[in-house]
Amino acid sequence: MKETLIDVKDLCIQFQTPGGTVKAVDNVSFDIKKGEVFALVGESGCGKSTTAMGIMQLIKEPGRIAGGSINFEGKDLLQLTRDEMTQVRGKEIGIIFQNPLDSLNPVYTIGYQMTEGLLVDKMDKKEAYKLAADMLRDVKISDVEERMKTFPHEISGGMRQRVMIGMMLCRNPKLLIADEPTTALDVTIQAGIIELMNELRKKYDSSILIITHDFGIVADIADRVGVMYAGNLIEVGEVFDIFDNPRHPYTRLLMKALPTITKEEGRLETIRGSVPNLAEERPGCGFADRCPYARDFCHHQKPELKQISEGHMCACHFAEGGLKDEQ
């Protein structure tokens, strides 16, 4: 069995708002093994990106990490000082965001930005330049010498995202967090970026936490997947287990909403209702108002995330006994 790289336990992230305390991430626990790709999936606002920002400790006021632990290679990231955490960011855990233009500095060249982190690590200037140029070749950028001298606005969106991936991998982090890395790109460029990430994970043996709302991307790259809903992790399992045998009603409905070329039906299924207000106290299951299988007690008793078979966990009162179709 592979060694665990990061173990997130009971992570709680809250935001104080005029409408009350929003529990954006509520007792979320998962781990990622060395060399593994773990996907966090769910609709917008379910807490996936906030979980990633919590791991990086980039939660800004009025938000705060209200509880839990994040054990990374024997140290709890939540107990580190600001300076210690600065050493972890970029060097041990790298993050790439949806829009690389927000992450790249418009007034510095690609070469400057690629080598900056390496120079902070006290690498010799020439060596840093060579490593950065080799990395650009690895992420399939052509004409590397020229590209090192260009500014971010002079290259395409797909190329910028490749540069960001290369920049993060330059410092060889043990964990790469990719937060919706392909959402801002068109479909063919998306496929290229996912293929590239697959190649690089094998070459550099990095663990990846990928955050996405797209099950197609999950199928292409992930080993295991965690489904989030309203700040909670509601199902976790091996990717093929989740696709073949989704046990939580929300996961099932998400699967039904997937377009496929073999489906005959005209309109795609939708999930009725909307995500609950996270500032309101919910004693029962967060999905109860939208769930076609809900019973009265679902509104009062919160289901725990429990193991239902090896490596497969689900938070639904009926996950173990099985759901009878559309009650």
Tokens of 233: 């992790």
Per CB under 6 A, the segment of 77-85, 205-213, 238-246, 285-293 that binds ligand SF4 is 285-293
294 binds ligand SF4 (CB under 6 A): yes
288 binds ligand SF4 (CB under 6 A): yes
CB of 270 to ligand SF4, least distance (A): 17
314 binds ligand SF4 (CB under 6 A): no
CB of 322 to ligand SF4, least distance (A): 11
318 binds ligand SF4 (CB under 6 A): yes
Other Cβ atoms within 10 Å of 199 Cβ, number: 13
CB of 28 to ligand SF4, least distance (A): 17
Nearest alpha carbon to residue 46 among 218, 250, 244, 216: 250
Cβ proximity to ligand SF4, 136 vs 294, nearer residue: 294
Buried b (16+ CB within 10 A) or exposed e, 201-235: beeeebbbbbbbbbbebbebbbbbbbbbbbbbbbb
Calpha distance 244→140 (Å, rounded):
34
Nearest alpha carbon to residue 287 among 306, 298, 308, 278: 298
3-state secondary structure 98-121: CCHHHHCCCCCCHHHHHHHHHHHC
Cβ proximity to ligand SF4, 203 vs 300, nearer residue: 300
Q: Which amino acid is at 220?
A: D
282 binds ligand SF4 (CB under 6 A): no
The one-character DSSP state at 143 is S
Sole binder of ligand SF4 in the list 147, 174, 201, 317 (CB under 6 A): 317
CB 247 within 8 A of CB 287: no
175 binds ligand SF4 (CB under 6 A): no
291 binds ligand SF4 (CB under 6 A): yes
CB 241 within 8 A of CB 45: no
15 binds ligand SF4 (CB under 6 A): no
Cβ proximity to ligand SF4, 67 vs 276, nearer residue: 276
For ligand SF4, the binding residues (CB under 6 A) are 248-249, 285, 287-288, 291, 293-294, 298, 303, 316-318
